[in-house]
Amino acid sequence: MKRYTSLLLPLLALLLSCQTDYTALPTYNGNKQLQAVIETPAGNTHKLVYDKEEKAFVPDKEAGLARQVGFLPYPANLGFIPSTEIEKGGKGLEVLVLAERMEPGATEEIIPIGLMQLENAGELRHVVVAVPARPSERQLDATSYAAFSKDFAPAKAILQIWFDNFHRASGTRFVGWRDEKFAEKEIQRWMKL
């Protein structure tokens, strides 16, 4: 028994020290399904971000303090599309997954159904809006922008109002909606080659 214990402890230590680099996961998995990495779960009031150096989900900081939403909690799961990079700091293309609460680090197969355009300090910011690829995990039965717009117009309105108000100090404002084809083009545009 001692012999197995002495072999098991170093192996366990090695496994625990291995941490996933979520930014390096493929954009599309082996089944050619788009993936999302969740950072901030639906219902949170504190924004979390993935720290590539620490390989951990940490509070987003503003003026040295953990950033807290000054409005209602996040209406959906916020994260990023892995292996995309929209700025030199390594930040991935944002995605909002309309589903039940998912924990930080959850990797979800998704279907983009649209894209929100936001403006912050004169710069355009894009957020892909998606639903889970598995029908059993969807709260909204929409897999296209047309279906989302027709059948869930109030949900679109809620997202627009929320993004206009969640961080007033930043001056973020909602600009408009684009369809799933535009969202796919944005994903392709920011994929790391």
Report the C-alpha gap between 112 and 132 in whole angstroms: 9
Q: Which CATH class is domain 19-190?
A: alpha beta
Structure tokens at 38: 């969740």
Q: Which residues pair with 107 in a beta bridge?
A: 37
Is residue 163's pLDDT more than 60? yes
pLDDT for residue 15 is more than 90? no
Residue 29's SS3 state is: coil
**Domain coordinates in residue numbering, the chain:** 19-190
Task: Report the distance separating Cα 193 and Cα 190, nearest Å.
Answer: 9
Q: Give yes or no for residue 154 having a pLDDT over 60.
A: yes
pLDDT digits (tens, 9 = 90+) for 23-39: 999 999 999 999 999 99
pTM, entire model: 0.87
Q: What is the pLDDT of residues 17-73, one digit of tens each?
A: 448 899 999 999 999 999 999 999 999 999 999 998 899 999 988 778 877 888 899
- Rounded CA separation 26/173 (Å): 31
State the Cα–Cα distance between residues 52 and 70, nearest whole angstrom: 27
* Residues 142-167, mean pLDDT to the nearest whole number: 94
CA 19 → CA 40, 51, 135, distances in Å? 19, 12, 30
Nearest Cα to Cα of residue 89 among 39, 38, 40, 52: 52
Q: What is the mean pLDDT of residues 102-109?
A: 97
Average pLDDT, the chain: 88
